[in-house]
Structure 1
Amino acid sequence: MADNTIAGLEARYGERWRWLAVATVVLGTMATVLSATVVNVALHDIMLEFGLRQGTVHWLATGFIASMTTTMLASAWLLDRFGVRKTLAIAMALFAVISVAGGFAQTPAQLISARVGQGAMAGLMQPMGMYLVFRIFPADRRGQAMGIYGMGVILAPALGPVLGGFLVDQFNWRYVMFAPAPVTLIGVLMAWRFLPVPVSRPARYAFDWPGLVMLGAIVGLTLDTLTRFQSFEGHELRLLVQALVDVLLLIIFVRRERTIKHPLVNLALLRQPVFLYATIGAMALGLALFGSTYLIPLFVQTTLGFSATEAGLLMLPAGVVLGVIFPLSGRLADKQSARSLVLFGIAMFALSAVLFASTGQFAGFGWLAFWAVLGRIGIGFMLPALSMGALNPLPPELMGAGSSSINFARQLGGALGVNVVALTIEFGEHQNGIPTLQAFESAWWLVAIFVALAAIPIWKMRV
């Protein structure tokens, strides 16, 4: 039997075992983030096949992100109980099974359920990469490692629409669901081979199941309440009751998490100003990443007449540029102020959104691709710096909780961002049931403003 202790892996693979471990979690991260975004270019076809509107079809994106947002907070407990090797391998195997099942869905409810299941497994997998990097690399090499790991987080949304567009046009939308399964199955084998077993485990403690259920209810109810605003008239009482229940659940959740010994969310971390500001920045990053990735393909397909393949290819230059920029930004995060890097990223992304909002209808393919590049450069500068700024001051025993919290904030921002973007489009002007250019412009302006406002707390970061 292979020795998968750190000493055993070093003896077998030498110094490169750390990079093999990073490659393993990158593979899992790319598969999950790819799945979060690759469906966006298929939304148009899915809407036509099932006769859906924005108010329903957005749940294919929002449901995935919402379930991922909730379950990722269980990763700290799973890491303590089972270790990164076993947890990641099992989550990737289940992800593959659910993906195949989703490809055979016959109703919208089945397809949305599969997307929620994918998101649940993705939530368990995503924090593993950041946790692993901060545990196996010394402090002066974490930025470089985060730059490589972050390529999975950032390149997948950029390249996902390219793959999705090809699959939709050459086959059909169902292959968008099938696509991640082979990748995650390879990841299972790599995890068993290259990831270390824990040297020691903390004493067993109970998992905060009530907290997880309450948090899932809070996230789901919040998103559902926002969605129902599209049919506000005549449903005012129901919306008011839902909002009050949501607030009550949030109050109960916060009080519980502050008093139990092993909380689902370590709220004490938010008492550290740098971590709090980084958390707000992570929410803005999620909104920028997932909101724009949802918006760009739908925008160019609906208003500019692009095919699914053309919509995907529009994102390809952004992916290529990110392949160069992201490792560079990771190295810069080792040496430069996290605040300055994040502020630069916010400015670049806000500029990209403003360009899409103000002149998108007049631009050709090349200019649209360039604006997408600007936005992705901004996101590429934000992610490593936010992670470094938030986690570097933490002691090793809080790395798992800190990593989960930052990932949770990013995904929550993404879930809310996609929901608000879809709602803005639905409220906008329509012709024959199709959103007009003005509806998309409003959504772009909203994204630009939300991300720009994040510069206020980021300015207060002193790292």
Structure 2
Amino acid sequence: MSDFSLQALQARYGAKWRWLAVGTVMLGTIATVLSATIINVALPDIMQHFGIRQGQAHWMVTGFIAAMTTTMLTTGWLLDHYGLRRSLAAAMFVFTLIAIAGGFAPTPEWLIAARIGMGAVAGLMQPMAMYLVFRVFPRDMRGQAMGIYGVGVILAPALGPVIGGFIVDQLSWRYVMFAPAPVTLLGIYMVYRFLPWPVSRPAPYRFDFPGLALLALFIGPSLDALNALQHADGQGLRISLGAGVAIVALILFVLRQRHAKHPLLHLGLLQRPEFLSACLGAMALGLALFGSTYLIPLFVQSALHYSATEAGLLMLPAGIALGITFPIAGRMADRQPARWMIMGGILAFALSTTLFAVSDMSLGFAWLALWAVIGRVGLGLIMPALSTGALNPLDTDELGYGSSIINFTRQLGGAFGVNIVALTIEYGDHVNGLPTIDAFHTAWWLVTAFVLIALWPVRRIGLAGTIPAAAASAEK
């Protein structure tokens, strides 16, 4: 079995090869999403172990997302030069090593650095999954494939808090860092078994290192300035300097991308109204997904005094509901206008966050679990339709960069969303140094407002999710 050409894999596994390939890239995404979400229920124990406040511990979440966001746009270059097989296997191996090193962290700075390193590698892996789906499936099956792919991916945020809560209560927060390693090790084995060699490669071209540096100078200092705002006393210079560096870096980054021969961010794709609308919708989705995933465990543990295990179990029904919604929504995305599914999902998610915003300490566990279920059903409607709405209109040679950009905008929304949520809580009402339930209510209202704003751009997404039967059959 030394031949891993596309033809050899299709002959060896038949029609099921596509699904084996999807399962392979799914493991990389599961590991990254698991790492992004499992840490949330461990934060109180980590803060107590190292004697740090939320502002510093928050970087274990924000640093991961910021690094992931920064490196996502490099995926197109990696795929062009090394192919999916080599790129994904190498990324999974490095991710495993960093995760294990983070589990032995002797200081909070070590742990934050490990989280940032994991995020940087995760940013390389996530767009690869969407790229593969849109490369190997015909247009009329892409929504279905994204739906099936999403079922596996959603297991990570659904089970992550449950697994994390059990690990924290029964073992130690350190084992939370080790948890993704078995997933990536299995993924490496499957990469070398089911993913093909590249069919062809473009002529080598130079990587846009200046663009990457400018992007990092925008994301890092801007998030650091937001983080410093949580404890603004004596931080005026740091906040002003960080904001100034971020603004200058953003301007220079845009100028660089406009004039570079091989830019990191292909601005030409963003000049297409439908793709731009999908990217703005993805940014709101990132804010909703990461903001609520960060907020729910903190809300129920800090304001409602739930244990880490109870906080994890609260999200389990929501994960199951999302797993059921995803394949149904995926099939619908192949046949229905993308914008109506996305708008319906936004409204469902906004209903969920509104219900959390009016919940008080007398509300039972079952009701809070139901609010989470409603929100996850909304996300299940959004995600496949958003992917097909964004990428179906693109040509084959644009899929690598298109998938990087749509993932980048989603993560950018997540990075700033988590920071804004944390900032809102920090400036809310506190008693004995802890945020009150009113502080969390304000944060929920803020998430609701940002999600509803996304209704305006996504209304422009046309009928990209609906593919004429003749065209679909022609692609097969």
| TM-score of the pair, normalised by structure 1 | 0.98
Counterpart amino acid of residue 45 in structure 1:
D
Counterpart amino acid of residue 22 in structure 1:
V
CA distance in 2, matches of 1:354, 1:64: 28
Cα deviation digits, residues 248-293 of structure 1 (max 9, x gap)? 1111110110111110000111110011110010011001111100
SS at match of 1:197: coil
Counterpart amino acid of residue 170 in structure 1:
Q
Q: Does 1:60 align with 2:60?
A: yes
SS at match of 2:261: coil
Q: C-alpha displacement at 1:236, in angstroms?
A: 3.3
Q: C-alpha displacement at 1:151, in angstroms?
A: 2.4
2:402 corresponding residue in structure 1: 402
Counterpart amino acid of residue 178 in structure 1:
F
Over 4 Å off, 4+ runs:
none
Q: Does 1:442 align with 2:442?
A: yes
Cα contact 2:42–2:164 (8 A) shared by 1? yes
2:324 corresponding residue in structure 1: 324
Superposition pairs of residues 372-451 of structure 1, within 5 angstroms: 372-451=372-451
Cα contact 1:360–1:368 (8 A) shared by 2? no
SS at match of 2:39: helix
Q: C-alpha displacement at 1:150, in angstroms?
A: 2.0
Superposition pairs of residues 150-299 of structure 1, within 5 angstroms: 150-299=150-299
Q: C-alpha displacement at 1:155, in angstroms?
A: 3.2
1:26 corresponding residue in structure 2: 26
Counterpart amino acid of residue 456 in structure 2:
I
1:125 corresponding residue in structure 2: 125
Q: C-alpha displacement at 1:234, in angstroms?
A: 4.1
Cα contact 2:225–2:240 (8 A) shared by 1? no
Cα deviation digits, residues 204-250 of structure 1 (max 9, x gap)? 00010111111011101110111111233444344233322211111
Over the matched positions of the two proteins, sequence identity in percent amounts to 63
Q: What is the root-mean-square deviation of aligned Cα atoms in Å? A: 1.1
**Number of residue-to-residue matches in the alignment:** 463
Counterpart amino acid of residue 84 in structure 1:
L
Cα contact 2:322–2:379 (8 A) shared by 1? no
CA distance in 1, matches of 2:27, 2:408: 20
Cα deviation digits, residues 167-211 of structure 1 (max 9, x gap)? 111111111101110110010000011001111100000010111
CA distance in 1, matches of 2:238, 2:184: 41
Counterpart amino acid of residue 207 in structure 1:
F
Cα contact 2:25–2:128 (8 A) shared by 1? yes
CA distance in 2, matches of 1:53, 1:386: 37
Shift in alpha-carbon separation, 1:116–1:152, aligned structure 2, 3 A: farther
Q: Does 1:98 align with 2:94?
A: no
Deviates more, 1:115-124 or 1:452-461: 452-461
Cα contact 2:150–2:323 (8 A) shared by 1? no
CA distance in 1, matches of 2:372, 2:141: 30
CA distance in 1, matches of 2:385, 2:360: 30
CA distance in 2, matches of 1:44, 1:232: 22
Cα contact 1:22–1:149 (8 A) shared by 2? yes
Q: C-alpha displacement at 1:56, in angstroms?
A: 1.1
Cα contact 1:287–1:415 (8 A) shared by 2? yes
Cα deviation digits, residues 380-404 of structure 1 (max 9, x gap)? 1111111100110011111001000
CA distance in 2, matches of 1:209, 1:119: 18
CA distance in 1, matches of 2:231, 2:307: 31
CA distance in 2, matches of 1:189, 1:241: 46
Superposition pairs of residues 450-461 of structure 1, within 5 angstroms: 450-461=450-461
Counterpart amino acid of residue 241 in structure 2:
V
Cα contact 1:155–1:322 (8 A) shared by 2? no
SS at match of 1:207: coil
Cα contact 1:55–1:423 (8 A) shared by 2? no
Cα contact 2:225–2:238 (8 A) shared by 1? no
Cα contact 2:207–2:262 (8 A) shared by 1? yes
Cα deviation digits, residues 97-153 of structure 1 (max 9, x gap)? 111111110111000011001111111100011000111111111111111112244
CA distance in 1, matches of 2:241, 2:156: 39
SS at match of 1:247: helix
CA distance in 1, matches of 2:36, 2:314: 18
Q: C-alpha displacement at 1:12, in angstroms?
A: 1.0
CA distance in 1, matches of 2:161, 2:63: 18
CA distance in 2, matches of 1:87, 1:68: 16
Cα contact 2:147–2:331 (8 A) shared by 1? yes
CA distance in 1, matches of 2:350, 2:244: 33
Shift in alpha-carbon separation, 1:333–1:436, aligned structure 2, 3 A: same
Cα deviation digits, residues 305-362 of structure 1 (max 9, x gap)? 1111110000000111112110111111000011000001100111101111112433
Cα deviation digits, residues 72-107 of structure 1 (max 9, x gap)? 111100000000011001101111111111111011
CA distance in 2, matches of 1:290, 1:154: 13
CA distance in 1, matches of 2:239, 2:348: 37
SS at match of 1:362: coil
Q: C-alpha displacement at 1:166, in angstroms?
A: 0.9
CA distance in 2, matches of 1:360, 1:133: 43
1:314 corresponding residue in structure 2: 314
Q: Does 1:69 align with 2:57?
A: no
Cα contact 1:154–1:380 (8 A) shared by 2? no
Deviates more, 1:277-286 or 1:423-432: 423-432
Cα contact 1:315–1:369 (8 A) shared by 2? yes
Q: C-alpha displacement at 1:51, in angstroms?
A: 1.7
Counterpart amino acid of residue 405 in structure 1:
I
Cα contact 1:266–1:401 (8 A) shared by 2? yes
Counterpart amino acid of residue 95 in structure 2:
F
Counterpart amino acid of residue 435 in structure 1:
P
Shift in alpha-carbon separation, 1:360–1:352, aligned structure 2, 3 A: farther
| TM-score of the pair, normalised by structure 2 | 0.96
Cα deviation digits, residues 53-75 of structure 1 (max 9, x gap)? 22111111110011011111111
CA distance in 2, matches of 1:417, 1:335: 32
Cα contact 1:65–1:411 (8 A) shared by 2? yes
2:345 corresponding residue in structure 1: 345
Counterpart amino acid of residue 33 in structure 2:
V
Counterpart amino acid of residue 418 in structure 2:
V
